[in-house]
Structure 1
Amino acid sequence: MLTEREQERYARQILLFGEAGQERLKKAKVFIAGAGGLGCPIALYLAVAGVGEIRLVDRDTVDRTNLNRQVLHWERDLGTPKAESAEAKLREANPDVHIEALEETIDEANVRDLVGDADLIVDAMDNFPTRYLLNREALRSGVPLIHGAIRGFDGQATTLVPGRTACLECLFPEAPPGEVFPVVGTTPGIIGLIQANEAIKYITGAGDLLLDRLLIWDGLSTTLETYAVERRPDCPACGEGMRP
């Protein structure tokens, strides 16, 4: 049940999806993989929206090269673990939500424990090997995965629901080469907020999700398009004979 303070804090949201929707946000548990360019705006906006529990995982420390886009990390945080830096800002932004920030490397041995009993997995990573791990865990657990990725002025996002939509490996059967890629800070801001918006819609039941649709953002031309995607019968993760 919402407290009087929560009713006041979330009054504008309650106008959209009612107290029942806000209570669903309060009861929700969201796992965010990464506290970098995407993870920072995702975590910030889910926290201020009133998501009850946020588990944030990142293994890195704050570097000066992060500061053009990773908005929860400031000059004073240089050398601090990103998980610790992000947790401090999120607690200050909304003391009513529970933040658990872990300095961990996501791998095959711990991904199941890290995701735990989350209602939703949000991919805010910068590499496909880890994204594939999150995808497999989403398929195993039946928990939806909200994917986002960026490079330069460009970005993409989609929402993947096990058993209902194509999975990440259907869309991207092979990982692109790893690289230190260019990025302007607005790009992860835009894609991260699209991911946060998808999370809020999923939890509250509002609107239409990006199901079997890949959203593409082109910041140089300021265009936003969506493309239909389909499950691949031969997908090694979710294809026939491979479904958990």
Structure 2
Amino acid sequence: MGRYDRNMMCISEEENNSLRYKTVAVAGCGGLGGHIIEMLGRLGVGKIIAIDGDVFEDSNLNRQILSHTQNLGKPKALAALERMKLVNPDVELLPVMNRIDENNAGIILQKAEVVIDALDNVSGRMILQQSCEDFGVPLVHGAIAGWYAQIATILPGDRTLDKIYSGLNDAEIKNPLGNPSFTPALTASIEVSEVLKLLIGRGELLRNKMLFINLLDNNYEIIEM
């Protein structure tokens, strides 16, 4: 059996083959981003731009799939590159060991067909949204806190993050709930499913709406935005 045979039980061979020509940018290679990169690579997305200016530390070991005891202190984006060589060497992973800001966002994101938000701050997310709008590229947003998560797909002009984070800034968005291992994995899975729908042009998107997940009470709610 081939690498992608099981993928083609839910997407067509033509759709599967088209993924090798797609470029997806992932902003953040931590709890969400590591899982996202892993799944994109196993789907066979041809080029992944992995963006993160941080290095691994002890507190990442509870949830970040790219972290382990042997790479503490190592750049997260570089770890993504090494992981992809093991998972799927046919995928071109471009590590960007910088934080996204207003000066570099355009250069980093301009060749992406979809951008994925795996950040942990409002200011970075707003930069992503504006850059995606400038380039006419979809943005898939995800955020986590403890037992809770939210996901939305944002097309240019939607400005969904303005509605989600209206009047809030980084200082006001703190996470006292922590992040266990399971919330980022689930949230990343849903973000990747949204990306796949965008890339193959099939399925219903979480557009102009937000999926809110409460795993503690098993409550999944779609909120119109």
CA contact (8 A) 2:110 2:135 kept: no
Contact 1:73 1:86 in 2 (8 A): no
Deviations 1:43-68 (A, max 9, x none): 10001100000000101110010011
Change (3 A) 1:93 1:114: same
Say which of 114, 117, 120 aligns to 1:123: 117
Partner of residue 187 from structure 1, selected from 166, 183, 188: 183
Q: Is the 8 A contact 2:145 2:175 kept in 1?
A: no
Match of residue 222 from structure 1:
218
> Are 1:169 and 2:165 matched, yes or no?
no
Q: Which of 209, 212, 217 is residue 205 of structure 2 equivalent to? A: 209
Rounded to whole Å, the distance in 1 between the matches of 2:175 and 2:144 is 12
State the 1:185 CA deviation.
1.4
Aligned letter for 1:184?
P
Query: How far apart are residue 225 of structure 1 and its match?
Result: 1.1
Cα distance in 1, alignment partners of residues 5 and 72 from structure 2: 36
Match of 1:77, SS state, is coil
Deviation at residue 175 of structure 1 after TM alignment: 2.7
Q: Which amino acid aligns with 2:25?
A: F
Cα distance in 1, alignment partners of residues 85 and 218 from structure 2? 34
CA distance in 1: counterparts of 2:183 and 2:164, whole angstroms: 21
Match of 2:6 in 1: 12
Worse overlay, 175-184 or 121-130? 175-184
- Distance in 1 between residues matched to 2:99 and 2:36, nearest whole Å: 19
3-state DSSP of counterpart to 1:11: coil
Structure 1 segments of 4 or more deviating over 6 A?
none
- Residue 160 (structure 1) aligned with residue 182 (structure 2): no
Q: What runs of 5+ residues in structure 1 fail to find an aligned partner?
A: 1-6, 230-244
In the aligned structure 2, how far is the partner of 1:68 from the partner of 1:161? 33
- Structure 2, unaligned stretches of length 5 or more? none
Q: TM-score, normalised by structure 1?
A: 0.87
Matches within 5 A, 1:44-55: 44-55=38-49
User: Following TM superposition, by how much is the alpha carbon of 1:172 offset from its aligned partner in structure 2, in angstroms?
Assistant: 2.0
Give the number of aligned pairs: 222
> 2:142, 2:150 within 8 Å by CA — same for their partners in 1?
yes
Q: How many angstroms apart in 1 are the aligned matches of 2:159 and 2:224?
A: 10
Structure 1 residue 197 and structure 2 residue 193: aligned? yes
TM-score normalised by structure 2 residue count:
0.94
54-63 or 8-17, larger mean C-alpha shift: 8-17
1:33 and 1:205 mapped to 2: Cα distance? Answer: 22
Q: Secondary structure at the match of 1:31?
A: strand
What do residues 5-58 of structure 1 show as CA deviations (whole Å, max 9, x unaligned)? xx8211122232212101221111000000001101111000110000000010
Which amino acid letter does the alignment assign opposite residue 133 of structure 2?
Answer: L
Aligned match of 1:133: 127
User: What is the CA-CA distance between 1:96 and the residue it aligns to?
Assistant: 0.8
Letter in 1 for 2:64: Q
Greater CA drift, 85-94 or 13-22: 13-22
Q: Percent identity?
A: 33
Partner of 2:141: 147
